Amino acid sequence: MKYIDEFRDRKVVQALAQEIRKASTQPVKLMEVCGGHTMSIQKFGIPALLPGTVELISGPGCPVCVTSRSYIDKAIAYSQQKDVIIATYGDLIRVPGSESSLEKEHAGGAQIRVVYSVMDALQIAREHPQKKIVFLGIGFETTAPGSAVAILQAYREKLTNFFVFSAHKVMPPAMSALIDEGVKINGYIGPGHVSTITGMKIYEGIPAKYGLGVVISGFEPVDLMQSILMLIKQIETGNTRVEIQYKRAVKPEGNVKAQQMMNEVFEPADDWWRGLGVLKESGLKLRSKYSAHDAEVNISADGMVPLREPKGCICGEVLKGLKKPKDCRLFGKVCTPRDPVGSCMVSSEGACQAYYLYNR
Amino acid sequence: MKDDKILMGHGSGGSMTHELIESLFVRYFDNPILHEQGDSALLKLHGQNLAFTTDSFVVDPVFFPGGNIGKLAIAGTVNDLAVSGAVPKYLSVGFILEEGFPLDELEKIVRSMSEEAKKAGVFIATGDTKVVEKGKCDKIFINTSGVGEIDDNLLAISSGKNIKAGDKIIINGGIAEHGMAIMAARNDMNISTSVLSDCACLNGLIAEALEVSENIRFMRDATRGGLGTVLSELVRKKDFGIQINEDKLVPKDSVRGMCELLGFDPLYVANEGKLVMVVAANDADRIVEAMQANPLGKQAAVIGEITSEHPGKAWLNTSVGGKRMIEMLSGQQLPRIC
């Protein structure tokens, strides 16, 4: 299959593995910040291909994982208001809130629909003018432009029954916060999808301020192996910088149109991240011009339950790369994809689920 | 959080379904036959061994590329009998119909059931019809049950108790076709593709394999939870492990493309005409050859083996030379796939 098979070529992967072994003289820890990378790394069995000197650790790049429980609690509270239909991407359905999950509320009769695109949520709003459609806007710079497009469209069509509950976040503040917190890594495997939108400039503070390299990577085995090699060469030569490995998708300037739409609709706001706490200007909230489509402004969250965090869950430390899923005493025992305690076990991009499925 | 209601995941065929069966159905219905939990129950009546099984079909949409709910209902039950080593003989059919369902669509479904039953050499011996008010079920649900005869020397196939380290694992072709055909047929996806469901009765293919070997040690049709779920179930609590080579799995390009696009792992996508066999190493080539002579087994291949290493776990050697574990599907991947 074109554009896939070339990047899963066993010979090329093995050759890159050989080159990595040759180039790597000192122990390094590389962090993949993107949940999609975490999943690919485990799915293709990449760690088995690397020398003992190279350790990969997972970062805070799974949107579901870093989102607070109170977001789920609020979404559930919305789902219980009269005339509300919740539209959401599938990966939020099973995430536990303090007392329940959207899946359980759905079984109890709440109107919750899984959509594959925010545009489907918009269509539901058009088809049900008497209902209020709340789209759960979650994700980084990858999905935020989609939400922005839908909001702009709703604004133009005067679709007064379409709302977005934004937990959208931006990546760079978290990448800096991790280092500021003392997490010891030697380089970042930069997020591929986020960067198709943002371009490479947003990462320039990382080498400038911390002396760490960032290589923006694709998601196939050849991409990941090549990115790891590029990072190791940067580290070994001391020439750390931002580089793009994923050139077939990422332009240095990114997708300018998507950036403009995002800026038109959203403004930066302080936001809470699991494991990292409140990070300055790390979230995206709707600008006041579009507040008619802001769920938090327009929909009552009456009946929202008080926040209760699970005991013993170390999701926060896993997201910072301080601990591995296997270090958690709940992992695989009390906490499984079937019965997840923490969000890192629920999300298909979560480090705990990736380890549970592929590397137990 | 403990569940106090049925969730969609309870019907996934994965670990949630298992839990429900064990914590509720087995607890109340408990008896030695049920305990075996094979694809069919193995019964003895007046000295004759019988296999007995039942299955309900709620697939959405009712018509899909490569089949419809009726064809599926016959093939599903025939296959559950055949993989137990039985020769399928008689089927019952129960219909639950929604008020307003078009009669010509019902006829199309019934016609294909009749064709499929003829092909498989089974009689539909009895049936039942119920109609519910509009909105109380979705178009049509079908239940089929079936009985078959089974030879004394094939009784161990169902439990796989003769499996040994070194045995080979065979599958009769590319995986994930049924699940992706259903996905493409759902009109909210807006995908056009040539993917057809692999839905088919496998009893003929199985009979041909049994003719050339007395050392078929286990068979299962890889339905709802896909190949991955069959393999991880097979090693569960066993003193052997499984190794599968990813490059021997040959999903069609169209199927792979859809899986990539939608983010599905083909290992966990449903099949309705794929058979996993564990066979003695010496017989593997002969069996593969026999299967390849049948149109339903043209791409049959050895995909891995039973190993004494890592007991209780199934590992996949990835096509790029890495390694990863194969775990049972948890929660739901695709609802109402069969």
Q: What is the ipTM, given to two decimal places?
A: 0.76
- Four-point Cα dihedral B184, B185, B188, B194, nearest 10: 40
Higher-confidence residue of B127 and A58: namely B127
CB B202 within 8 A of CB B294: no
User: Which member of B16, B257, B319 has the closest CB to residue A8?
Assistant: B319
From B111's Cα to the closest Cα of chain A, the distance in A is 35
Q: Chain B contacts of A338, Cβ < 8 Å?
A: 9, 15-16, 19, 330-331
Say how many Å lie between the first and final Cα of chain B, rounded: 29
Other residues' Cβ atoms within 10 Å of the Cβ of residue A2: 7
**B1 vs A100: CB contact, 8 Å cut-off?**
yes
Residues in chain A within 8 Å Cβ distance of B189: 116
Q: CA of A46 to nearest chain B CA: how many angstroms apart?
A: 6
Closest residue of chain B to A225, computed from CA coordinates: B320
Structure tokens belonging to residue A163: 């709302």
Q: Give contacts of A46 with chain B, Cβ < 8 Å.
A: 322
The tokens describing A319, both together, are: 């997201």
**Residue carrying structure tokens 């286990």:** B218
Residue pairs spanning A and B at CB distance below 8 A:
91
Task: With CA atoms as reference, report the closest residue to A68 among A343, A337, A312, A324.
Answer: A343
Interface of B with A (CB under 8 A): 1, 3, 5-9, 15-16, 19, 188-189, 247, 253, 256-257, 260, 263, 265, 313, 316-325, 327, 330-331
Interface check for A218 against chain B (CB to CB < 8 A): the answer is no
Q: Which one is the CATH code of A68-169+280-298: 3.40.50.11740, 3.40.50.2300, 3.40.50.300, 1.20.120.1200? A: 3.40.50.11740
pLDDT at A15 over 60: yes
What would the mean pLDDT of B65-74 be, rounded to a whole number?
97
Placement of tokens 């949409």 in the chain:
B61
Residue A182 confidence class, pLDDT cut points 50, 70, 90: confident
- Residue B71: which of B201, B223, B226 has the closest Cα? B201
What is the spatial distance between Cα B115 and Cα A226, in angstroms, rounded to a whole number? 54
d(CA B219, CA B150): 14
Q: Given pLDDT bands bounded at 50, 70 and 90, which one contains residue B298?
A: very high
Report the C-alpha gap between A224 and A215 in whole angstroms.
10
Least confident of A230-244, A268-282, A294-308, B4-18: B4-18
Q: Which residue has the higher pLDDT, B257 or B72?
A: B72
Q: Which two tokens stand for residue A16?
A: 């890159």
CA distances from A354 to A145, A330, B242, B265, B338 (A): 27, 15, 20, 13, 28
Q: Which residues from chain B sit within 8 angstroms of residue A99, using beta carbons? A: 1
Token match 């089949």: residue? B67
Predicted local distance difference test score (pLDDT) of residue B170: 98
Radius of gyration of chain B (CA): 19
Asked if B324 and A116 come within 8 Å (Cβ–Cβ), the reply is no
- The verdict on a CB contact (< 8 Å) between A13 and B321 is yes
Put simply, whether A98 touches B (Cβ < 8 Å) is: no
Task: Give contacts of A48 with chain B, Cβ < 8 Å.
Answer: 321-323
**Would you state the pLDDT for residue A249?**
95
Residues B84/B43, Cβ–Cβ less than 8 Å: no
> Chain B: nearest CA to A349, how far in angstroms?
11
Q: Compute the mean pLDDT over every residue in chain B, rounded to the nearest whole number.
A: 93
Chain A closest-CA separation from residue B3 CA (Å): 8
Please name the member of A10, A46, A337 whose beta carbon is closest to the beta carbon of B331. Answer: A337
For residue B314, which residues of chain A lie inside 8 Å, CB to CB? none
- Scan residues 113-142 of A and list those with Cβ closer than 8 Å to B: 116, 120
pLDDT of residue A58: 85
pLDDT band at B333 (very low <50, low <70, confident <90, very high): low
pLDDT above 70 covers a percentage of chain B that reads 96
- Residue A5 near chain B (CB below 8 Å): no
**Are B322 and A96 inside 8 Å of each other by CB?**
no
Interface test with B, best of A338, A348, A349 (most B CBs within 10 A): A338
Residue B5: its chain A contacts at CB < 8 A? 104, 107-108
Measured between CA atoms, the residue of chain B closest to residue A46 is B322
Residue in chain B lying closest to A360 (CA): B325
pLDDT at B188 over 80: no
CB contact under 8 A, B324 and A17: no
Q: CB distance A49–B322 less than 8 Å?
A: yes
The dihedral region occupied by B310, where left means phi > 0, alpha psi between -120 and 50, and beta the remainder, is: left
pLDDT at residue A76 above 70? yes
Which residue would you say has higher pLDDT here, A347 or A177?
A: A177
Which residue from B166, B113, B133 is spatially nearest to B305, judged by alpha carbons?
A: B166
- Determine whether the interchain pair A9/B320 forms a contact, defined as Cβ–Cβ distance below 8 Å: yes
pTM of the model: 0.84
All residues at 6 or more sequence positions from B118 whose CB lies less than 8 Å from its CB, including other chains: none
Q: Which residues of chain B are within 8 Å of residue A4 when distances are taken between CB atoms?
A: 256, 260
- Average the pLDDT over B305-314 and give the result: 96
Q: Among residues of chain A, what percentage have pLDDT more than 90?
A: 71
Indicate yes or no: CB of B327 within 8 angstroms of CB of A357: yes
Q: DSSP secondary structure string, A176-200? A: HHHHHTT---SEEEE-HHHHHHH-S
The least confident of A85-89, B17-21, B141-145, B225-229 is: B17-21
Going by pLDDT thresholds of 50, 70 and 90, the confidence category of residue A61 is: confident
State the pLDDT at residue A233. Answer: 97
**Domains defined for chain B, CATH in brackets:** 31-154 (3.30.1330.10), 168-326 (3.90.650.10)
Confidence of residue A359 (pLDDT cuts 50, 70, 90): confident
pLDDT tens-digit profile of A125-155?
999 999 999 999 999 999 999 999 999 999 9
Q: What is the mean pLDDT of residues B14-26?
A: 86
Helices then strands, counting H and E runs in chain B, come out as: 10, 14
The pLDDT of residue B1 is 44
CA atoms of A235 and B68, how far apart (whole Å): 58
Chain B residues in contact with A104 by the CB 8 A cut-off are: 1, 3, 5, 7
Q: Exposure pattern of B21-53 as b/e (b: 16+ CB <10 Å)? A: eeeeeeeeeeeeeeeeebbbbbeeeeeebbbbb
